[in-house]
A and B are shown apart, each in its own frame.
Chain A
Amino acid sequence: MLSPEEIRARLDRLLPRVEKPGRYVGGEFNSVIKDWERVAIRVALIFPDIYDVGVSNVGLKILYDQVNQRQDALAERAYAPWFDMEALLREHRIPLYSLETKHPLSCFDLLGFSLPYETLYTNVLNILDLAGIPLRSAERGESDPIVIGGGHATTNPEPVNEFFDAFVIGEGEEAIHDVISAMLAARAEGASREGLLRRLASIAGVYVPSLYRVHYLSDDTIERVEPVVPYAPSLITKRIVPVLPPPPTDFLVPNIDIVHNRVSVEIMRGCTRGCRFCQAGMITRPVRERSVAEIVDAAEQAINATGFEELALLSLSSSDYSRIDELVDAVSERFQGRKLTISLPSLRIESVSVDLMEKLKEHRSAGFTLAPEAATERMRRIINKFIPDEQILDTTREIYRRGWKTIKLYFMIGHPSETLEDVRAIANLCKRVLAEGRAVLGWKAHLHAGVSTFVPKPQTPFQWVSCDTRERILQKQALLKREFRTDKNIKLSWTDPADTLLEAWLSRGDRRLAAVIHSAWQKGARFDAWHEGFKASVWREAFAEHDLDPYFYTHRQRRTDEVFPWEHITAAVRKNFLFQDFRASLEGEIRVDCRLNCFACGILPTFASMRRDHPGEVWKCPEVRSPARGSMSLTPAHELPLAVHSE
């Protein structure tokens, strides 16, 4: 095993030979270097994509702070090396190392992988391999680090179950401390790796996949998933924090240009809109807001601590932040006269949004982005994102009128029951919007239509539906390309169907996909989210090798009584609620913002005692006033004080 000094010496010689060597050296302002010898637990936080993408990830930054604030632990970082660097690391037998102290990853006690999207899976394998750590949990020994994954993709961790010792489901701010405590306790009692896994399995929200067995039916669907040891829970419920902790402010300032050179402040977590295609909206409930003062102070502190030129106020739906006017006023006042771009993404399509952006005009960026997602009334009812055409036209007219020259509209094709007419309507709507712009700006008006392809995600009301086939997607995209060909001021972007289908089977797969992912990696798959990396043929071969059919995972309408591979994992939104919502979708029935009417999704009964302890405006769910009962303090939905609909 190379020492950090030996690694440094080899890097000195090799780095001038790679593209952007600044990716591989660390040394960023605000990075934290602790004394390796003086802590008990060493954690490597890994974003399994390239540095340029990973370094600004807020989730890992939160964990980096949480761990480094402890006296007894340190956190360092690693990212996936690009192809050129991987080749040099392999050629010169340099193990993948942490940026802070250049220790090989295998020297750490815990590797924490962020898994925000599924197309990172092959990079996880590649990173473990470059670190010289056995890929499969079952092959790791007492001296190997514990490998844990977290992030949105873990709503269905089954396709990568073999490669992780454990997953943290849900929010990690508190869970990371529980994991470290378990490691300290296991070490104190001299426990084996098995003993540590046992301790991890007893932490709320932690899923240790090796402690479960999957039974299949003859049609290859799942009969049931059961724990094989008594201490593993039969249902793993995601973790949440009752109140959002203070946001990070001392963001890492990279020494090279990256994708997002900015400060991000999360203004709220969760979303009450209930768009049926949106996994984030379903799995990040309940809505918890930060106060205006906390946001503005944190933003200022972060801008001062980083010197960044951009501030992003992040949430799934900025317009729904209950004091959005007050926030925008406070931000524009606080940063008046400072050269700062402020972005406020995910605004509702209404004229109020234009007023909000207008207030930030000193700080504004070039384009204005809105996401109608669908272009016919029927489709909008199905996906539960209802905006009348007139409202879209009024809003976009106002945007052009106030001087924005480019509007970007996001749509999705492939929603359930979508016809070619629904797709054609996207083109027609775009043309009508641009006509509004022409009336004001003439030929200076531009429109960018971003049309992605829907993937039915686990733990959403659409988890039962099938994904469009490649032929169908191509047909819809061809229609759009044809429709837009005549107008040079409309730019169309779309997703390659191969990318969509990869995402579909990786997110909807079962445990048997682990072998496919492993084979695909062996055949060279990595950076699947990148044009440079993804090769559809490699995946086709990998499926064939294990006698599995991608069709089974992506294009099959799932039975209403089907047991999903992810059914033993829950984001606390109950399957029954999701099914009712799916049925409502088929009826074209809209469900309003759940702040106006609680639909009893399951969050409140699951976290009743937490809500009871944290009453008031912090949560957007109804309050729980009934007394706690028993140790679990569960309150059935029908006993909640506010009106509860459905079921």
Chain B
Amino acid sequence: MRIRITFARQGDLRFTGNLDLQKLWERGARRAGLPLAYSQGFHPQPKISLASALPLGFASRAEVVDMRLAEILPTDTLPARLNDALPSGLRVLHVESVEDGAPALQTELEAAEYEVTIDRADLPTDFETLVEQTLRLETIPRERRGRPYNLRPLILDLRTVPQKSANQAASEPKGPHLWMRLAAREAATGRPEEVLAAIGLGDASFRIERTALVFTWGRIPK
């Protein structure tokens, strides 16, 4: 049986790398008593695959992992069962069963959406203008690991988020300040911190949360 788990990743778990997260799911599933299916061979590995790597420090409320089980189980009790067995930074939102032969998640991912909250001290007064200027550019040449590329086509959408400062007179506006949808295909993945650098906020302090993943078959969360 193959199950698809939608989960949020917050707090301390923002600082766990993708390989370690794989291990975390493996151990969490065992603690929850799920009958993991293993690969054949000399070093059998559980069949767990994450849709998309999340950079260190990012939070997310829309992560997806596929997991193969050796038995067929009803999925409705699984969120509670898993949540009891997971560290507090991981939270299962939804579990559904998918066809065994369905394509791998990574191959079906098209885009990812992010919210960015910028530290008040680093928020420029002409923030909206800077964003508009960036969007008007036809090419945004950037470099990653020594290789030049054009960031602009990877930005599918980019908007400033109006602040409800009236209600929050006592405290500063909490954000988020920016919302973006970036390409997340296997050979073409936009990185939100690169977009911030293009806007001119490369040195600012900010927090980034992934809010949705867009697959060929639909969005998560739905």
Residue positions of A touching B, CB distance < 8 A: 12-13, 15-16, 20-22, 24-29, 253, 255-257, 261, 304-309, 339
Contact = CB atoms under 8 A, between A and B. Distances in A.
A27 B89 contact: yes
A15 B12 CA distance: 11
Contact of A13 (B31, B87, B89, B205): B205
Nearest to A303: B30
B91 to A, nearest CB: 13
Contacts of A22: 12, 15-17, 20
Contact of B57 (A21, A255, A257, A308): A21
A339 B39 CA distance: 12
Given A21-B56, A29-B87, A255 B16 contact: yes
B11 interface: yes
Contact of A16 (B13, B30, B56): B56
Contacts of B165: none
B15 A307 contact: no
Nearest to B89: A27
Contact of B16 (A13, A256, A307, A308): A256
A307 B87 CA distance: 12
B207 interface: yes
B127 interface: no
A304 B31 contact: yes
A25 B19 contact: no
A255 B27 contact: no
A339 B38 contact: yes
A7 to B, nearest CB: 13
A307 B29 contact: yes
A255 B207 contact: no
Given A27-B89, A28-B87, A255 B12 contact: yes
Contacts of A21: 15, 56-57
Nearest to A33: B88
Interface string B4-19: 0000000111011101
A21 B13 CA distance: 10
A141 B33 CA distance: 51
B15 A15 contact: yes
Interface string B125-142: 000000000000000000
Contact of B27 (A13, A25, A308): A308
B87 A255 contact: yes
B206 to A, nearest CB: 9
Of the listed residues B31, B38, B57, the one surrounded by the most CB atoms of chain A closer than 10 A to its CB is B31
A253 B20 CA distance: 11
Closest 5 CB pairs of A and B: A27-B12, A307-B27, A307-B30, A16-B57, A21-B15
B44 interface: yes
B28 A307 contact: yes
A25 B12 contact: yes
Contacts of A29: 27-28, 31, 85-87
Contacts of A306: 27, 31
Contacts of A261: 23
B26 interface: yes
Nearest to B16: A255
Contact of A255 (B24, B44, B205): B24
B32 to A, nearest CB: 8
B31 A256 contact: no
Contacts of B56: 15-16, 21
A309 B36 CA distance: 13
B115 to A, nearest CB: 15
Given A16-B56, A22-B15, A304-B31, A257 B38 contact: no
A249 to B, nearest CB: 12
Contacts of A27: 11-13, 87-89
A16 B57 CA distance: 6
A12 B23 contact: no
Given A25-B15, A29-B86, A307 B57 contact: no
Nearest to A21: B15
Contacts of B28: 29, 307
Contacts of B89: 27, 255
Nearest to B15: A21
25 contacts: A15-B56, A15-B57, A16-B56, A21-B15, A22-B12, A22-B15, A22-B16, A22-B20, A24-B15, A25-B12, A27-B12, A29-B27, A29-B87, A255-B15, A255-B20, A255-B89, A256-B15, A256-B16, A257-B19, A257-B23, A304-B31, A306-B31, A307-B26, A307-B85, A309-B27
A29 B17 CA distance: 16
A16 B87 CA distance: 20
A21 B27 CA distance: 21
Nearest to A22: B15
Nearest to B86: A29
A309 B57 CA distance: 27
Nearest to A261: B23
A314 B23 CA distance: 24
A419 B86 CA distance: 57
Nearest to B29: A307
B210 to A, nearest CB: 15
Given A13-B205, A255-B24, A305 B31 contact: yes
A257 B17 CA distance: 9
Nearest to A253: B27
A218 B164 CA distance: 79
A30 to B, nearest CB: 9
Contacts of A257: 19-20, 23
B27 A339 contact: no
Nearest to A31: B87
Contacts of A304: 30-31, 33
